[in-house]
A = this chain, B = another copy of it.
Amino acid sequence: MRDHLREIGMIARALDSISNIEFKELELTKGQYLYLVRICEEPGIIQEKLAELIKVDRTTAARAVQKLETNGLITKQDDPHNKKIKRLVPTERGKALYPVIIREHEHSTNVALAGLSDQEAEQLLRLLKRVRHNIEGDWDAVKKGKKRDY
């Protein structure tokens, strides 16, 4: 049957669980790696966009970011032209963790894709991107209170 979403859920929870356990020795608590990598890859990003990227509630992102700042891994910088937004930038300590996180992700990716040919791996990525794109609209709409009919 069409168990695509169930499989995706299982994979996501398993890998998130692994990452959280493995990053504990980097003093990163649950979920923090998600935000830190994104801020490293897109320095100056604001909280709202970050939440949208990661697909997490705005307030959850707010607190994760707050904690990253408290722990000295990022800073919130005022924008010269916009008093409302705060640009998120990794500190040196934050930047130093980036390659470690990436290495772990690469390892997990290797494990996940074991036995798949290059073509299969590429095809999988293409399809996943399309699926992600397909659901982004619904996520946004439902989050904002829209009722879906089904």
CB interface residues, A 17-72, toward B, < 8 Å = 17-18, 21-22, 34, 53-57
Which A residues are within 8 Å of any B CB, using their own CB? Answer: 2-18, 21-22, 34, 53-57, 103-109, 111-116, 120-121, 123-125, 127-132, 134-136, 138-139, 142-143, 148, 150
Contact B3 A8 (CB under 8 A): no
Contact B8 A138 (CB under 8 A): no
Contact B130 A116 (CB under 8 A): yes
Taking CB atoms, residues of chain B closer than 8 Å to A120 are 127
Given the complex of chains A and B, what is the CA–CA distance between A93 and B89 in angstroms?
50
**So how many copies of this chain end up in the complex?**
2
Taking CB atoms, residues of chain B closer than 8 Å to A113 are 2, 4, 131, 134
Contact A132 B2 (CB under 8 A): no
Contact B134 A115 (CB under 8 A): yes
